Amino acid sequence: MRHNISVFLVALLPLASAAHAQSSSDRPRIILGASIGIDAAVSTFNAARQTSGLFGTERVYEHSYGDVFKPAFVVGGELGVAVSTRNEMFGRVRFLRGEGRTTAFGESINRSPPGTRINMARFSDYRAVAVEGGVRHAFREGGHLTPFITATGGITFVDAIESDRYCRLDAPECALTSRSTVPALAFLAGVSYPLAPFAVVEAETGLRWQKGLGGNTSGLSVGFLEDAFTGRRISIPISGAIRFRF
């Protein structure tokens, strides 16, 4: 009897080992990642505005985000879980900063004496923190280059944007937008390359949409610019990343 039990237990050992291996392989794997890149906005920053009075006309040109800011430099971190061999869920934080430019903001057209003066304006940097959640799907397993797609959604905290033009005399710089918390969505595609069984490097790009910022004219010396700077931000992010699976 004891001999039969011993034979039965020995026979179960390979099955138990296989079950343990299957359990380990099915366990969700934790993902840690870091990224660096740029985020180039392609949408309109402000609409054209104009006001006329007794002495002439004040006109503000339309500007794109690229007219007013250099492409934003972006660094980020990511924490996620691999829910299968080709699908991942993650959360990430991205820090964006785009250097403000000095640009021709508009023009003043005088009636008497007649003449036109170009008005230059200097803008503060674009600063934002994006907190996002997303999913990523790889189109195949293994191989040297693996294509994937990513979709994210979240909120972005954007600092007030300031300028030195059309400010009150007691304010050398004034806010054109308020400090805002706005929703954002992104759809991205990229490729990954394995460095090791637990690490990959990636290149990724796509399209990102962000709701317009809140207006703020409290520091302006003119009222015709109200809500001129509240358009949505559409950008093309380009990034490289390294990710580790544990």
Contact, 163 vs 119, CB < 8 A? no
**pLDDT grade, residue 221 (50/70/90)?**
low
* Domain count for the chain: 1
Residue 176 lies in a domain: yes
DSSP state of 126: E
If we measure between CA atoms, which residue out of 209, 157, 182 comes closest to residue 42? 209
Residue 51 lies in a domain: no
Contact, 189 vs 204, CB < 8 A? yes
pLDDT at 39: 97
What span, in angstroms and rounded, lies between the C-alpha atoms of 179 and 215? 9
Ramachandran category for residue 100: left, alpha or beta (phi over 0 → left; psi -120 to 50 → alpha): beta
Q: Which residue has the tokens 């691999």?
A: 82
Tokens of 190: 């990229």
Four-point Cα dihedral 25, 30, 36, 37, nearest 10 = 70
What span, in angstroms and rounded, lies between the C-alpha atoms of 159 and 99? 13
pLDDT at 217: 59
How many other CB atoms are found less than 10 A from the CB of residue 37?
A: 21
If we measure between CA atoms, which residue out of 161, 205, 203 comes closest to residue 182? 161
Residue 110 lies in a domain: no
Range of the domain at 176: 29-46+65-102+123-245
What span, in angstroms and rounded, lies between the C-alpha atoms of 204 and 187? 10
Per-residue pLDDT for 171 more than 80?
no
pLDDT at 12: 35
Residue 233 lies in a domain: yes
Residue 142 lies in a domain: yes
68-89 residue pLDDT tens:
999 999 999 999 999 988 999 9
103-133 residue pLDDT tens:
998 898 998 888 999 989 899 999 999 999 9
Q: For the domain that residue 165 is a member of, what is the CATH number?
A: 2.40.160.20
Residue 164 lies in a domain: yes
pLDDT at 195: 92
Instruction: Write a three-state SS string for 170-182.
Output: CCCCEECECCEEE
Residue 108 lies in a domain: no
Tokens of 157: 């905290």
How many other CB atoms are found less than 10 A from the CB of residue 208?
A: 21
**pLDDT grade, residue 220 (50/70/90)?**
low
Residue 55 lies in a domain: no
